[in-house]
Amino acid sequence: MSEELVKLTIEGVEVSVPRGTTVIEAAKEAGINIPHYCYHKGLPIAGVCRMCLVQIEGAPKLQISCATEVAEGQVVRVFGEEESKARSSVLEFLLINHPLDCPICDQSGECELQDFTFDERQGQSRYNDFPKRYDPAEQFGDDVMFVANRCILCTRCVRFMDHAAEEPVLNVSERGDRAFIGMHPDAELNHPWAGNVVDLCPVGSLISKDFLHKARVWELDHTDSICTGCSQGCNIHIDTREELVVRLRPRANEDVNKFFMCDEGRSNYRWLNSGDRIEAPLVAEGGSLVASGWDHALARVAQIVKGSTGDAVVLASGKSSNESLFFLRELFGEFDLKAHFRNFTVDGELPLSGVEGLALREERIPNGTGARQLGYDDSFNGVSNASIFLILGDDLEGITPEMLSGAKNFIYVGTTLPEAARNADVVLPATTVAEEDGTYVNRDNRVQRFSQARTAPGMGRPAWWAFAEVLKELGRGDAVDTAAEAFDAMASNVGAFNGMSYSTLGKNGQKLAESSAGVSK
């Protein structure tokens, strides 16, 4: 049955939205962002800030758009004189007690109070004093600091802990002009998803100690990506400053992670800044690895593949992209191939209790589903009498040198050079998820794109590019220059990805055509 639509007019723009939609959400369909503080799509409606007041034709007074549902034929005015004056008055009240410490506030540059004050031209107050003063800062938990003077009592943090985390450790203590955000005397804000209160805070009141004083927001570049912490596949922003990853933040995708991410995923970025990187291809000569150019190294790999027959074994990281895994299989298509991927699991999940389908999952890799769809398994027990053994990725924890012996030729493709890979015949410098474009498949069979956020050090290149170049060297393929070309080649050869294209995945991803494994034709 089709969804019933309601037609209304907002600022002269006619829109049709499903019945039950709030005016504030309907306005977005008209390209209008109604100013607000307490409202957040992922939280219960509170209606306490009064910033989103609008004029609805026929209503006796201004209405809060966050709690008012659309009606057929409704005419809404957002930017008229009366509405603007009301918002200006709300801002004046908020700024009475708000300290003007923007130059030292970490929220400066992405503060909604700053933005709306500028938009509403509220540049002065009729008050000269700041009557309300609290202690400068309070520790709320391991990573969350509370600066009470900046708080505007939007209650987003309280509602998140009450309804999303279902651990009500925060509240609004006292009433009236004495009200403040309080914490349970016998608790701390150390819930495994507590970092989301920092993202939710519209001002600089709740801040992350990990990000504190690291950068000004206008110095950062923001890139859409996927969290590599588990198989949930949370959508994130990677924020970089001068080629360093300085923080990860959740990116809204209501099909995957809604608006949130766990604290473990949030802190899982330091490995992306590792300084111990392989910066050039290495080829074994005279018993040691010698730096070379890409042409020589790829020609050596092609020589090894061309001169070998029989068994081949590959062990790929669970962080490897679908494109790299696909071209790796293609490279060894003429061998009796045993394809494995590295899997890491823990007992038990850490759910965000009040949000259905969202948890830090037991499988702590981002692309186990993609690897399985491409014909890889996680049953690696070692190498014995293989013509070629290739490792893709750095996560060799638990892998002993004995498990890697027994292959006539050993190729390593990774970002750093672990001890177990120092006897390789060829070493190729790869890129991390922050340095390349590509895709993962999450636990729900959703294919999702990630994008390059920083430049790879030295001569590092995506693994899919290197494997495609070797195939070209062998006369078994053409050059592949972009992740889009790599994905489209995979989609035309692997059943589960048939009908997809890199361009149509969009920001929210797309479900696989089928859930059964689809190996190259």
Q: Given a cut of 60, is residue 518 above it in pLDDT?
A: no
Residue 480 lies in a domain: yes
Please name the residues in contact with 195: beta carbons below 8 A apart, sequence gap of 6 or more: 143, 144, 208, 261, 262, 263, 266
Q: Which of 48, 79, 110 is the last residue of a domain?
A: 79
pLDDT tens sequence across 90-128: 998 888 888 888 888 989 999 999 999 888 776 667 777
pLDDT at 486: 97
Both 126 and 55 in one domain: the answer is no
pLDDT at 521: 39
Residue 431 lies in a domain: yes
Both 382 and 316 in one domain: the answer is yes
Report which DSSP code applies to 217.
G
Both 184 and 211 in one domain: the answer is yes
* CATH number reported for the structural domain that contains residue 263 in this entry: 3.30.70.20
pLDDT at 13: 96
Both 253 and 305 in one domain: the answer is no
* CATH number reported for the structural domain that contains residue 296 in this entry: 3.40.50.740
pLDDT tens sequence across 270-291: 999 999 999 999 999 988 999 9
> How far is it, in rounded angstroms, from Cα 137 to Cα 141?
12
Residue 318 lies in a domain: yes
* CATH number reported for the structural domain that contains residue 56 in this entry: 3.10.20.740
Residue 151 lies in a domain: yes
Both 225 and 374 in one domain: the answer is no
Q: Given a cut of 90, is residue 165 above it in pLDDT?
A: yes
Both 155 and 251 in one domain: the answer is yes
Both 373 and 451 in one domain: the answer is yes
Q: Which of 226, 243, 273 is the last residue of a domain?
A: 273
pLDDT at 123: 62
Q: What is the pTM of this model?
A: 0.94
Which CA distances in Å does 420 have to 382, 405, 416?
13, 10, 11
Both 362 and 495 in one domain: the answer is yes
Both 268 and 349 in one domain: the answer is no
Residue 381 lies in a domain: yes
Both 190 and 322 in one domain: the answer is no
Both 72 and 165 in one domain: the answer is no
Helix ranges, 6-78 (H) = 23-29
pLDDT tens sequence across 10-61: 999 999 999 999 999 999 999 999 999 999 999 999 999 999 999 999 999 9
Measured in degrees and rounded to the nearest 5, phi and psi for residue 485 equal: -65, -40
pLDDT at 132: 65
Tokens of 281: 């291809």
Q: Which of 221, 247, 273 is the last residue of a domain?
A: 273
Residue 430 lies in a domain: yes
User: For the chain, what is the mean pLDDT?
Assistant: 93
Q: Is 464 exposed, middle or buried (0-12, 13-18, 19+ CB in 10 A)?
A: buried
Both 209 and 345 in one domain: the answer is no
Residue 96 lies in a domain: no
Report which DSSP code applies to 69.
B
What domain range is 219 assigned to? 101-273
Which CA distances in Å does 20 have to 6, 183, 402?
9, 34, 63
Question: What share of the chain in percent tops pLDDT 70?
Answer: 97
Q: How many domains does the chain have?
A: 3
- Its sign, for the CA torsion 232, 233, 236, 242, is positive
Residue 520 lies in a domain: no
